[in-house]
Structure 1
Amino acid sequence: MTAGRPTASVYVDGFNLYRRALQGRQGVKWLDLHRLFSELMPEHDVVRIHYCTALLRHGLTADVRAPVRQQVYLRALRTDPRISIHLGKFRNDRRDMPVHPQQVDLETRKFVTASVRKIEEKGSDVNLASRMVAGALLGHADIQVAVTNDSDLVGPLRMLKEELGFATGIIFPMTRARSSKELVQTDPDFMTNVTEEALRASQFPDTMRDANGVVRRPEKWSWKSEGPSSLGPSNR
């Protein structure tokens, strides 16, 4: 820790961070989270980072290499002892849902439906909220900072600040104009937005090492080879 600076624990909705800040951007997915949050919070000492995500499986995305790249990235994150990873899961269900535009079946007087495959990430919101509350109660840092634009976190943030008296912060993974108004209205003690400049300044080295050997930036995530990606549920 650095004397004189307040400490911060950061809680990351990995799916939200990917979709809002990383998807389709060239060369920024090999992201050093500690470096990023230290860049965005220069007046704080970032002492803990909780990264909440879910593991991709084959069949959840058209890109068969996406689960491999995600595993490589998780290896890179685990090289930093300040980062802990908390895993939810993806739910993959067949659903009958109303077609768009809506149509009414004249015989049944019900909306016409179509069979679809619905993929939902489950657990990350709960993991993030519970870790944030636990971190505050255990005194792990002076401020608890959520990285999300998901208004489902309004309740936990309000409880921490208004009922329990803890300092809170929010890092929005997009521009200020698109930040959730509901989250802004929780009146956090610290608030900022992820920028393209901070992302580009916060990349891991192309080659790293962990206890199992060499960890390399996936080729598709390089500055030159990566192009816009299709919509998908996690780091790819």
Structure 2
Amino acid sequence: MRAIFYIDGFNFYHARLRKNRQFRWLNVHALAQALATADDPNTTIDLVNFYTAYVSGKIDPAAVGKQQAYLAALKSTGAIAIHSGNFTISNRWVKLVHPPMAKPDGYVWPQPYPEFVYVATPQEKGTDVKLGVHLVRDAFQNAFDVAYVLTNDTDLVEPIRIATEELGKTVVVVAPVLPQQANRPVPAPSLTKVASRVAYITDADLAAAQFADPLPRDKMKPLTKPADWV
């Protein structure tokens, strides 16, 4: 059984890893291997695709170095293809919720509260398009027997539908978060409808797939997990 993984890194981070720092030093190839062999011990993983966007230091200067360390860890496996998009920072007016919340915690908003505020909004661009295009291309080329798509992004419904319904491929949608950890159905019902089946990742799965810290590299300085990823 030939398997290819397509991991929506941005969606996975915000759904599962943003509030679970202890799992961020994640070897996604090891995770993919565990998920695939749990379904079929004879499965071989031909490729793990990891889709991400390079973060901007305009909002969090430290984020750039942390991401670079993590991407270097992924590259060190020699078994993960990284596909990058971009973040754009756009300034726009948005409606303020009442009562408003802010960081740092404890900040007190003066009253009366404004109706609108001018904010810098980071937006990820390009990765979901690449993921969808690669999935459909690989399905047309018969590059896999089963595809695993780790996402809860409904923008990917149509490429998954094409792969399953029009090309007869098996596509497993892997939910980035467990149902009991979400306040809505996961995966989204529209993704569940087009998927061949659904899989979930437990905290134990994430804990078992962590990189070593420090992570040795051949003829290069070992990589160290960011200090606050605990």
Describe how 1:198-209 pairs up with structure 2 within 5 A: 198-206=205-213, 207-209=215-217
Q: Alignment partner of 1:219: what SS?
A: coil
The residue aligned with 1:11 is 6
Describe how 1:189-204 pairs up with structure 2 within 5 A: 189-204=196-211
Describe how 1:132-171 pairs up with structure 2 within 5 A: 132-171=135-174
1:47–1:211 CA distance, 2 compared to 1 (3 A): farther
Aligned-partner Cα distance in 2 for 1:218–1:97: 33
Aligned-partner Cα distance in 2 for 1:48–1:190: 20
Indicate the larger mover: 45-54 or 138-147: 138-147
User: Cα deviation per residue 1:93-148 (whole Å; 9 max; x = unaligned)?
Assistant: 111233445xxxxxxxxxx6432221110111101111111222223221122110
Q: Alignment partner of 1:185: what SS?
A: helix
Aligned-partner Cα distance in 1 for 2:25–2:117: 38
The residue aligned with 1:214 is 222
User: Cα deviation per residue 1:18-75 (whole Å; 9 max; x = unaligned)?
Assistant: 11121222421110111112212221322211111111121133xx322101101101
Tell me which amino acid in the other structure corresponds to 2:53.
A
Aligned-partner Cα distance in 2 for 1:99–1:35: 42
Percent identical among aligned pairs is 30
Query: Is the contact between residue 160 and residue 168 of structure 1 (CA under 8 Å) also seen in structure 2?
Result: yes
Q: Alignment partner of 1:19: what SS?
A: helix
The residue aligned with 1:108 is none
Describe how 1:1-236 pairs up with structure 2 within 5 A: 6-42=1-37, 43=40, 44-61=43-60, 64-100=61-97, 113-176=116-179, 178-179=185-186, 180-186=188-194, 188-206=195-213, 207-210=215-218, 212-221=220-229, 226=230
Aligned-partner Cα distance in 1 for 2:162–2:175: 19
TM-score with structure 1 length normalisation?
Answer: 0.80
Size of the aligned set, in residue pairs, is 204
Query: Is the contact between residue 6 and residue 50 of structure 2 (CA under 8 Å) also seen in structure 1?
Result: yes
Query: Is the contact between residue 2 and residue 146 of structure 2 (CA under 8 Å) also seen in structure 1?
Result: yes
Query: Is the contact between residue 36 and residue 199 of structure 1 (CA under 8 Å) also seen in structure 2?
Result: yes
Q: Alignment partner of 2:71: what SS?
A: helix
1:97–1:72 CA distance, 2 compared to 1 (3 A): same
Q: Select the structure with the greater relative contact order (CA < 8 A; seq sep ≥ 6).
A: 1
1:50–1:145 CA distance, 2 compared to 1 (3 A): same
Unmatched tracts of structure 1, length 5 or more: 1-5, 102-111, 227-236
Query: Is the contact between residue 135 and residue 144 of structure 1 (CA under 8 Å) also seen in structure 2?
Result: no
Deviation of 1:196 (Å) = 0.4
Query: Is the contact between residue 52 and residue 84 of structure 2 (CA under 8 Å) also seen in structure 1?
Result: yes
The residue aligned with 1:231 is none
RMSD (CA atoms): 1.7
Aligned-partner Cα distance in 2 for 1:66–1:113: 28
Query: Is the contact between residue 4 and residue 46 of structure 2 (CA under 8 Å) also seen in structure 1?
Result: yes
The residue aligned with 1:230 is none
Aligned-partner Cα distance in 1 for 2:179–2:35: 14
Query: Is the contact between residue 21 and residue 194 of structure 1 (CA under 8 Å) also seen in structure 2?
Result: no
Query: Is the contact between residue 208 and residue 216 of structure 1 (CA under 8 Å) also seen in structure 2?
Result: no
Moved over 4 A (4+): none
Unmatched tracts of structure 2, length 5 or more: 99-114
Deviation of 1:80 (Å) = 2.0
